Structures are given as structure tokens and as C-alpha cells.
């Protein structure tokens, strides 16, 4: 057993606490240090018997979260106190009332928003989604709840090493699904990038290490290159009297990975690996002119790419981000991204919402600007929360739709600017103008040309909405909009009619189940929902009520269930989630077994390989307990993995391959090359002769001397597949070989 030096630990705790106070000092008012000390003492005492999975004292976690709040987000005393106490109510005997008595209503409200909902959840619902909705409900009172939650999540991700593999997957996916987009939306770019990098580190560590090493290898030459690149710019800026700093920065690991994946290119071909940031000290009234002057200086030395100019100074992003971006060609033939901004803009870009508030208060004191895009977004989230009475997963889908990365800037007929998410349609624009205009919209004129309601808008479009008093929203409209405002308003309009249809459908289902002598309960309803491939129970009832699903087909569900019961292993009926699976497998195979061995446990538990990602031995995988189809094995890189792990983490089980090789698994390869006579023959020869691989199909397309083909074939493992890909890439004329799902 590891000996713990309690005295050393006590010193380390105090050292971290003093560091926190030192960092917070510039933000503190009189009496604040005393309140922070009290919060620290209570938290330290409440958690004194607790340790983290890594073996460290638990108090390290609240201290680190408070530190992130101060150092990386720039929050003040209330947030430090709430961060220090954020787990006290959930994990110890302290109640919310005690917190309110000691620290006041504000701190208690924030901690309530950060405390998970406990208790039993209805079968098929999502605990993660419910907790997320609860946290967002406090957004209407205090944005600091979300900011502290992001700090909490960042510390959890930084210390994820000590967690078991399936927990790593669940937490990392949830982070990528919700918290990274949320950090982006609140303008916390440094936190967003780190969360994305950590997600990649824990879900695809091989790729992460590969890119991180590549960035490391090129560091010295990159620094030398940046030094040469900025020398003439620095000289000119100084001669024109600018006060400035220039930072060189590599792209984040995740953004490089994304480029490689999206464009299907190797690391070496990611062209804007370099970015430099010029930050100028400028008076608020001269900011715009100064930034454009710096742009002019940069383009005097280097030729810009006209398609890569982004002006977020004239029209800031909806999260408050302001900057001027251009990509220029260096003298050595490499593209370099140049970002130009002022100290104020950089502060907002790095610290997001907290900095935004600081400058907003200054503006207000000087009788300045009205609400920003960020305030408007928070107002939108509030109205989404108020209008959403569906289930939490539906709410999560709507909310994620609200976290768009890109925006389009469009104009009303009178020239007023409206900012909408990327992919927004004429109908979104109509609802943006007014609910009544949206509800009666029959089409639009975009740049004087007549277009339908589902026409997607582009930057700079001028839009005039056409209405008719006879028009009514229909179900199809939900497919024609992307903004949560439009979705919420359309759902409101459809709600009354839909509600009675849902009730009719529910009655029909109850009647049918009674006739078939089956219980009507949440478990059966969840199984019916999955069997008929509907997203929510209400959607299932609605389709029954509308006659889209024939009520008599419920009989086929009973037959399916009966067949499944006869085929099913005796243990399977009890497996509903990860904890019941672990219990069952330990009962059957002994106390040391807590995971599914693929290829070995077929006699104990039913499982199938998911069709969406066709895993093969060697792939990193997880098991997922479905409602109707037993356990499915997915690749961790499966397109559906993010949502499954984020919303239903309790149904994720550990799974790994056994070493057996006799089974063949279907895999797909995409090959690209220059066409020549006999190329196909050489490709099929490698596949059939060299490795005795069985091919299922091959499709080839040749255009102007470029050859593209897809091959589906059976392999034994990822090593087998990699060997085959390596041999194929040696065939004369083949440029690229890649696996696809």
C-alpha cells in the first residue's frame, strides 16, 4: 500500500490555496479575502476524507477549478467561492440552505445550478441531458454557472488519465458534444481548443500523439520561419509609431486533425499550420482604422489570398469575437494566417464572456452600446428553455443547434443587418423579423429574385418576406429551419393540434397492449419507440395517432419480442445498463470479469457489430446496451458515438477483442490515383493473390485521367487491413488509399 505523507499534503494544499489568493488579489475588494478563506476552510473540511481516482486529496479539484475561474476566465470573488464549494452539496452532508445562510443567495443559486439531479430516472430518459438542462435553467439568473461548469469540466478532462477507459470515452464525448461548442459560443477560445485537444487525446491517442510529435519536431524551424516572417512587419509598425506585440502560434492539434480528416490530406499538406497574431494598443475610437492600417502594412510585404479575408471588426461574431483575419503567401511559398486585433479584442477573444462584461460596464458608464450578440444569444436560450416542454434529449438537440460556429450576415429591405446561423433559410429570417411574419410566410425575394421558404441564405443577401393571411405552419416547416427561435415558434403553433393527436395515439397504444395482455409501462414504451425507429415516445404516439404507423403493427412488435426471448441468452433480459451488465457478467464468469470479450462471450451475452461503423478486430471499440437489439459494438470513431456516449453514458460498457483471427469482417477502402491500362488488374491481384482476401464489391470511376474507386472486402483485423493498404499504395499510379465506414 502507498504511504501517504499527510503533512506534505497539508503543505501542498496550503501552497495551492495561497497561489489562488495571489492570482485573485487584483480582483478582490475589501473583505473578499476573508469570504474566500471561509469557503476554502469549509470545502477543505467537508472533503477531508475524500480522494480522487488518482489518489490525490479531493480538495485539489475545487482549488484547481477556482484557479481556472480566476486565471483563465477572469472571474471574481462570488465565482471563486462557488467554485470552492461546488461539490460540497452533492458529495457531503452540507445542504443548500447551509450555503445560503453562510454565503448568501447568489452563491447558493450558482451551486444549485452546478449540483446534479439525483434520484431515479425514467427508463430511456437521459440523466446527462436532464442535468444539462437544469444547469442551463440558471442561465437566466447567472451566466457564471456555465463558466464555472466549464472550469470544472476542463479540470476533469486534464485529470482524466486516472479514469477507466469507458468512463474516459463517456466524459470526453460529452465534452466534445456540449462543452467545447459552449466554450466557443461564450468566446472562450483557449478553453475550447484545450477541450478539443483533450477529447482527441483520450478517444484517439495514436493520432493525437502523431500530430503533437509532428508539431514538436517542426517547432525550431517554425520559430525560425516566424522570426524571419515578422521582421519587416515589426520594423514598419515601429516606424509608424504603433505600440504592439506579435505572437506566433501553431494551430491546435484538434484543428489540424480536423483539416486532415475533412480534406483527406496528410499532415504535411495542411497549408496554414502557421498563424501569427498582431495585437495593437489602440484607443477605442481608432480601433477599426488602426487594424486596417496594420492590414495594409502586412499586405505591402506579403500577397494576401483574396478568398481568405475575414472581417469580424465591422461585423463581430455573435459571441462578441472581433478580429481581422487574412492568409498571406510568405517568401518561402508557405501560407501564413495573420490575425490583427487590439488589446481589448484580444482580451475578449481569450477570456470570452467575463471580459465582455468588463468592457460592457465601461461602455455603459460612458453611455455606450446596446446589447451585444452574446446578450441576444442568452435571451434566445432563455426563450428556448421557457418554450421547451418536451423531453431533455429533444431540448439538447435544439440547444446544440443554437451553438453554430459560423454565421451569415443578411439585410432587410431597409438595409438593417441580421445575423443568422450558417445554413439559415428564408423562413428562419421571417421568424427573426417577427413570429407573425414567420407563421404567414409563403416565400421570399432574395436580391429581388423569388425563392421558396427553404431557400438557404448567403452572406450579403437582401431579403424581403412575402406573406399570406391564409398560410399556416406545417410539420414540414421544421425541416426548413435551423434557428431554435423558428423551431420553437413552429412547434408552439403545431402544439395544440399535436397534443390531441399524441393523446389519441397514447390511448390506441394502451388499448392494443391491453388486448395483447402486455403491460403499459415506460420500459415497454421505450422498446416500442426503438422498434418503430422514432426518436421519442411522443413522436411514436403522434405517428400512431396520425396513422403514419398502423396500430395493428404493434402485434409484430409482440412477435419480435417473443422470438427474441426464445433466442435470448438467459442473462440478457436483466441487462439494461452498464451496472446491470457488470453485475451479470461477474455472476456468469467470475468476479474479475467486468467487460465484454468480443469473439468469446457469444454464448453468454447477445451482441452484434454495429452496421454504422463496421468495427474490425484492432479497432478501438465500446459496447452499447440498446433497448431492443441487445448489445451493439461500435468503433469509438463511429459517426454516432458522440451522441450515444453523451446522452446515454450509463449504457456504455467496456468491450475488447479477443486474439482469435478466424472470422472475417467487412471493411471499405477508397483509392485515388492516375489512370493507366491494367491498373484495376494490378489492384485486384494485390487483394486476391498476395493476401488471400475475399472481395465483396469494387466500383471504379475514371475521369480525365484521374481514377477513383471504392472496394468492400473482408479482413481479419486492423493489422491485416493496414498491411493491405500499404501494399495497395505501392501499386504504380495509386496516390492515396484510405479506409471509410
Would you list the DSSP string of 203-246?
Answer: H-HHHHHHHHHHHHHTHHHHHHHHHHHHHHHHHHHHHTT--EEE
Phi and psi (nearest 5°) for 508? -60, -45
What does the DSSP 8-state code read for residue 482? -
d(C-alpha 350, C-alpha 334), whole Å: 27
Residues 6+ apart with CB under 8 A from 611: none
* Contact yes or no for 419/198 (Cβ under 8 A): no
d(C-alpha 65, C-alpha 63), whole Å: 6
Q: What sign has the CA pseudo-torsion 481, 483, 485, 487?
A: positive
d(C-alpha 360, C-alpha 370), whole Å: 9
Co-location of 357 and 277 in the same domain: yes
Instruction: Decide: helix, strand or coil at residue 423.
Output: coil
Which residue, 162, 197, 232, sits at the end of a domain? 162
- Cell matching residue 212: 503533437
Half-sphere CA count of 662, side-chain side, radius 13 A: 2
| Residue tagged active-site, from 45, 49, 87, 90 | 90
Co-location of 11 and 125 in the same domain: yes
* Contact yes or no for 377/402 (Cβ under 8 A): yes
* Domain hosting residue 629, numbered range: 572-657
* Contact yes or no for 521/122 (Cβ under 8 A): no
Co-location of 636 and 581 in the same domain: yes
pLDDT the model gives residue 526:
79
d(C-alpha 408, C-alpha 13), whole Å: 49
Q: Could you tell me where the beta strands, DSSP code E, fall in 364-438?
A: 407-411, 417-421
- Cell matching residue 135: 444547469
d(C-alpha 246, C-alpha 645), whole Å: 41
Phi-psi region of 691 (alpha: psi -120 to 50; beta: other; left: phi over 0): alpha
Q: Which of 89, 92, 119, 131 is nearest to 107 (CA)?
A: 89
Q: Which of 494, 475, 488, 496 is nearest to 384 (CA)?
A: 488
d(C-alpha 171, C-alpha 64), whole Å: 18
Co-location of 37 and 120 in the same domain: yes
Co-location of 149 and 219 in the same domain: no
In a domain, 191, yes or no: no
91 part of the active site: yes
Co-location of 407 and 428 in the same domain: yes
* 621-625/655-657 β-pairing: unpaired
Co-location of 117 and 57 in the same domain: yes
Instruction: Decide: helix, strand or coil at residue 673.
Output: strand
Burial category of 407 from C-beta neighbours within 10 Å (exposed 0-12, middle 13-18, buried 19 and up): buried
In a domain, 170, yes or no: no
Give helix 253-263 / helix 205-217 axis angle, nearest 10°: 110
Co-location of 11 and 157 in the same domain: yes
Co-location of 513 and 479 in the same domain: no
Kindly report whether the global pTM for this prediction surpasses the value 0.85: no
Q: Which of 114, 98, 124, 116 is nearest to 150 (CA)?
A: 114
Q: Which of 417, 379, 377, 369 is nearest to 401 (CA)?
A: 377
Provide long-range contacts, Cβ within 8 A and 24+ apart, for 211-214.
211/253, 211/256, 211/257, 211/260, 211/267, 212/253, 214/267
* 631-635/621-625 β-pairing: antiparallel
d(C-alpha 537, C-alpha 211), whole Å: 44
- Cell matching residue 289: 482604422
For residue 505, give Cα distances in angstroms to 125, 498, 537.
20, 10, 10
- Cell matching residue 593: 470479469
Q: What b/e readout covers 315-334, taking b as 16+ CB neighbours within 10 angstroms? A: ebbbbbbbbbbbbbebeeee
Q: Which of 112, 33, 20 is nearest to 70 (CA)?
A: 20
In a domain, 623, yes or no: yes
d(C-alpha 737, C-alpha 717), whole Å: 17
Count of other CB atoms within 10 angstroms of residue 524: 16
**Cα angle for residues 573, 578, 580 (degrees, 5° grid):** 45
In a domain, 542, yes or no: yes
Provide the CATH number for the domain around residue 265: 3.30.460.10
Count of other CB atoms within 10 angstroms of residue 267: 16
Co-location of 12 and 149 in the same domain: yes
d(C-alpha 326, C-alpha 319), whole Å: 20
For the chain, what is the domain count? 6
90 part of the active site: yes
| Residue tagged active-site, from 91, 269, 475, 732 | 91
* Contact yes or no for 631/653 (Cβ under 8 A): yes
In a domain, 205, yes or no: no
* 665-674/274-280 β-pairing: unpaired
d(C-alpha 740, C-alpha 721), whole Å: 12
In a domain, 705, yes or no: yes
d(C-alpha 349, C-alpha 342), whole Å: 10
d(C-alpha 477, C-alpha 489), whole Å: 11
pLDDT the model gives residue 68:
92
In a domain, 202, yes or no: no
* Contact yes or no for 549/540 (Cβ under 8 A): yes
d(C-alpha 187, C-alpha 264), whole Å: 29
Which residue, 337, 365, 393, sits at the end of a domain? 365
pLDDT the model gives residue 242:
93
d(C-alpha 189, C-alpha 195), whole Å: 10
Co-location of 94 and 158 in the same domain: yes
In a domain, 94, yes or no: yes
Provide the CATH number for the domain around residue 68: 1.10.3210.10
List, run by run, the mean pLDDT of 10-residue segments along the chain (741 residues).
71 91 87 91 88 87 93 87 89 86 89 68 59 66 81 92 86 86 81 93 91 85 87 94 87 87 79 83 91 95 89 82 90 88 87 63 52 62 59 64 67 84 91 92 92 90 91 89 86 80 87 83 80 82 85 78 58 62 66 68 70 84 80 87 82 77 75 82 76 73 82 81 85 84 72
pLDDT the model gives residue 139:
60
Co-location of 356 and 428 in the same domain: no
Residues 6+ apart with CB under 8 A from 654: 164, 165, 166, 594, 595, 596, 622, 623
Residue indicated by cell numbers 466534445: 176
Q: Which of 400, 526, 446 is nearest to 124 (CA)?
A: 526
| Distance from the first to the final alpha carbon of the chain | 46
Provide the CATH number for the domain around residue 708: 3.30.70.260
Half-sphere CA count of 12, side-chain side, radius 13 A: 13
pLDDT the model gives residue 545:
86
**Cα angle for residues 597, 602, 605 (degrees, 5° grid):** 85
* Contact yes or no for 60/16 (Cβ under 8 A): yes
Which residue, 365, 400, 415, sits at the end of a domain? 365
Amino acid at each position: 500500500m502507498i504511504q501517504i505523507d499527510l503533512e506534505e499534503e497539508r503543505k501542498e494544499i496550503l501552497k495551492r490555496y495561497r497561489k489562488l489568493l495571489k492570482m485573485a488579489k487584483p480582483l478582490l475588494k475589501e473583505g473578499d479575502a476573508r469570504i474566500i478563506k471561509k469557503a476554502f476552510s469549509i470545502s477543505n473540511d467537508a472533503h477531508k476524507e475524500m480522494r480522487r481516482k488518482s489518489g490525490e486529496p479531493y480538495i485539489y479539484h475545487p482549488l484547481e477549478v477556482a484557479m481556472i475561474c480566476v486565471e483563465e476566465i477572469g472571474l471574481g470573488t462570488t465565482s471563486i467561492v462557488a467554485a470552492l464549494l461546488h461539490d460540497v452539496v452533492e458529495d457531503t452532508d452540507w445542504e443548500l440552505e447551509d450555503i445560503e445562510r453562510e454565503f448568501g443567495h447568489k452563491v447558493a443559486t450558482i451551486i444549485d445550478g452546478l449540483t446534479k439531479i439525483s434520484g431515479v430516472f425514467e427508463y430511456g430518459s437521459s440523466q446527462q441531458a436532464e442535468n444539462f438542462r437544469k444547469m442551463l435553467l440558471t442561465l437566466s439568473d447567472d451566466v457564471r454557472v456555465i463558466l464555472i461548469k466549464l472550469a470544472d469540466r476542463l479540470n476533469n478532462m486534464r485529470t482524466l488519465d486516472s479514469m477507466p477507459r469507458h468512463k474516459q470515452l463517456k466524459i470526453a464525448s460529452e465534452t466534445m458534444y456540449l462543452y467545447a461548442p459552449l466554450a466557443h459560443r461564450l468566446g472562450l477560445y483557449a478553453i475550447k481548443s484545450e477541450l478539443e485537444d483533450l477529447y482527441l487525446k483520450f478517444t484517439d491517442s495514436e493520432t493525437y500523439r502523431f500530430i503533437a510529435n509532428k508539431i514538436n519536431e517542426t517547432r525550431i524551424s517554425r520559430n525560425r520561419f516566424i522570426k524571419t516572417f515578422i521582421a519587416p512587419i515589426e520594423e514598419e509598425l515601429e516606424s509608424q509609431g504603433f505600440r504592439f506585440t506579435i505572437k506566433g502560434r501553431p494551430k491546435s492539434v484538434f484543428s489540424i486533425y480536423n483539416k486532415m480528416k475533412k480534406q483527406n490530406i496528410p499532415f504535411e499538406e495542411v497549408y496554414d499550420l502557421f498563424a501569427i497574431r498582431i495585437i495593437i494598443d489602440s484607443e477605442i475610437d481608432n480601433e477599426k482604422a488602426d487594424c486596417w492600417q496594420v492590414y495594409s502594412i502586412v499586405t505591402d510585404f506579403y500577397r494576401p489570398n483574396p478568398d481568405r479575408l475575414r472581417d469580424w471588426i465591422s461585423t463581430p461574431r455573435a459571441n462578441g469575437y472581433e478580429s481581422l483575419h487574412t492568409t498571406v503567401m510568405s517568401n518561402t511559398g508557405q501560407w501564413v494566417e495573420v490575425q490583427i486585433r487590439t488589446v481589448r479584442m484580444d482580451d475578449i477573444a481569450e477570456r470570452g464572456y467575463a471580459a465582455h462584461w468588463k468592457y460592457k460596464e465601461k461602455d455603459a458608464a460612458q453611455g455606450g452600446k446596446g446589447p451585444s450578440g452574446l446578450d441576444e444569444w442568452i435571451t434566445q436560450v432563455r426563450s428556448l428553455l421557457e418554450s421547451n416542454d418536451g423531453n431533455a434529449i429533444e431540448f439538447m438537440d435544439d440547444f446544440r443547434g443554437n451553438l453554430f460556429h459560423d454565421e451569415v450576415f443578411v439585410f432587410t429591405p431597409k438595409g438593417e443587418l441580421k445575423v443568422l446561423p450558417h445554413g439559415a433559410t428564408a423562413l428562419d429570417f421571417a421568424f427573426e423579423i417577427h413570429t407573425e411574419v414567420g407563421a404567414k410566410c409563403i416565400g421570399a425575394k432574395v436580391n429581388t429574385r423569388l425563392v421558396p421558404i427553404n431557400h438557404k441564405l448567403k452572406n450579403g443577401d437582401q431579403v424581403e418576406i412575402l406573406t399570406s393571411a391564409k398560410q399556416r405552419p406545417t410539420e414540414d416547416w421544421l425541416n426548413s429551419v435551423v434557428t431554435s427561435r423558428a423551431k420553437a415558434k413552429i412547434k408552439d403553433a403545431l402544439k395544440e393540434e399535436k397534443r390531441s393527436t399524441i393523446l389519441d395515439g397514447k390511448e390506441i397504444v394502451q388499448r392494443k397492449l391491453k388486448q395483447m395482455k402486455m403491460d403499459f409501462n415506460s420500459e415497454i414504451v421505450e422498446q416500442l419507440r426503438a422498434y418503430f425507429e422514432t426518436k421519442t415516445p411522443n413522436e411514436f404516439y403522434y405517428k400512431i395517432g396520425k396513422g403514419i404507423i398502423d396500430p395493428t403493427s404493434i402485434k409484430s412488435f409482440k412477435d419480435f419480442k417473443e422470438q427474441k426471448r426464445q433466442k435470448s441468452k438467459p442473462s440478457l433480459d436483466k441487462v439494461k445498463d452498464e451496472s446491470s451488465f457488470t453485475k451479470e457478467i461477474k455472476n456468469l464468469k467470475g468476479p474479475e470479469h467486468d467487460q465484454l470479450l468480443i469473439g468469446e462471450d457469444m454464448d453468454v451475452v447477445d451482441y452484434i457489430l454495429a452496421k454504422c461503423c463496421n468495427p474490425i478486430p484492432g479497432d478501438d471499440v465500446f459496447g452499447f446496451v440498446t433497448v431492443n437489439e441487445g448489445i451493439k459494438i461500435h468503433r469509438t470513431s463511429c459517426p454516432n458515438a458522440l451522441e450515444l456516449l453523451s446522452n446515454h453514458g450509463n449504457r456504455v460498457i467496456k468491450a475488447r477483442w479477443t486474439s482469435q483471427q478466424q472470422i472475417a469482417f467487412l471493411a471499405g477502402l477508397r483509392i485515388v490515383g492516375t489512370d493507366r491500362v491494367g491498373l484495376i488488374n494490378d489492384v485486384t491481384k494485390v487483394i486476391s493473390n498476395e493476401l488471400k482476401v475475399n472481395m465483396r464489391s469494387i466500383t471504379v470511376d475514371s475521369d480525365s485521367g484521374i481514377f477513383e474507386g471504392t472496394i468492400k472486402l473482408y479482413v481479419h483485423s486492423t493489422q491485416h487491413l493496414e498491411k493491405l493498404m500499404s501494399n495497395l499504395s505501392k501499386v504504380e499510379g495509386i496516390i492515396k488509399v484510405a479506409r471509410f465506414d
